[in-house]
Amino acid sequence: MKQAGTNDWTIGQSPYFRSFIPSSDPWRSFPSDSVVLSGDYSSKMGDIAPSSSQTLHFKLIARDGKVGGICESPTTVSVENLGPLKMSSFNQTGVFLPRNTKQLITWEVNGIDKEPLNCEFVNLLLSVDGGRTYNSLVNHVPNDGTEEIVLPDFSRTQIACRIKVESYDQTFFDINDVDFTITSDSNGYVGKDMLITLSPNPANENVFISISGIIPDISTLFYMYDLSGQLLKKEEIWGNDYFQKNYNLLTLCKGLYVVVVSNSKQKQVCRFLKE
């Protein structure tokens, strides 16, 4: 909880990060991955990125489920009043890039190449699953804010791509704000494979739905159902080979929901969980 009588998280007396239910992952991001992918570092209580110089105190606790079976290891992290390292490429919706093409990636250095951080080099990585896992694009390139890379030669359109820029020899990083698409056709046409991505999933207040590979010259219908089969939303897609929209879920109850997108030649069905 915040320190009594204050509304300021930057004074160094309130916990920025909380403990979560244990998982099998051997690492944790601060803030958590969902916060980083959303780009909002100041709203989720217990997962807030510091915005001022201070020292953070952490303690790793391990339990084996037996009486007295607890051990702990403390550490400190210094937060400097520099940066942040920030991606500036692909932060808008509707980005479609052809496979196997050169692309200029840009990011904001914001002074982190100077003392005391001295971040002179960075790595660039690509995710095709909405930011859950990453593969290297280039390593150990100068931290000068720009780098030309070649996108992978995918045989299938990837509609949930993210780019990460990370310090080469330190722990900080940033990810572009929204998913973008790398098409499987060299001229950018998505082709006949219709693909759907829902992010985040599980969702809470909103779910962003992106559909690519739609045949543009026929009518395509979008449906959203609950598990009882009740139709909640319906839209017609016409004249475009892609569709993207953010849906507000505040009026929906917690549970599973079904999305169906179909036309006379294509059909895709997927589900998402409202928490």
pLDDT digits (tens, 9 = 90+) for 216-261: 888 999 999 988 788 999 999 888 788 888 999 999 999 989 888 8
Cis peptide before 84 (omega within 30 of 0): yes
pLDDT > 60? residue 56? yes
Closest CA to 175 of 138, 131, 113, 132: 131
Average pLDDT, the chain: 84
Answer with the residue of higher pLDDT: 159 or 163: 163
Domains annotated for the chain, with CATH where assigned, are 9-79 (no CATH), 86-183 (2.60.40), 195-274 (2.60.40.1930)
For 157, counting Cβ atoms within 10 Å of its Cβ (0-12 exposed, 13-18 middle, 19+ buried), the class is buried
pLDDT > 70? residue 67? yes
Percent of the chain at pLDDT above 90? Answer: 29
CB 166 within 8 A of CB 175: no
Quote the tokens at residue 71: 């051990």
For 37, counting Cβ atoms within 10 Å of its Cβ (0-12 exposed, 13-18 middle, 19+ buried), the class is buried
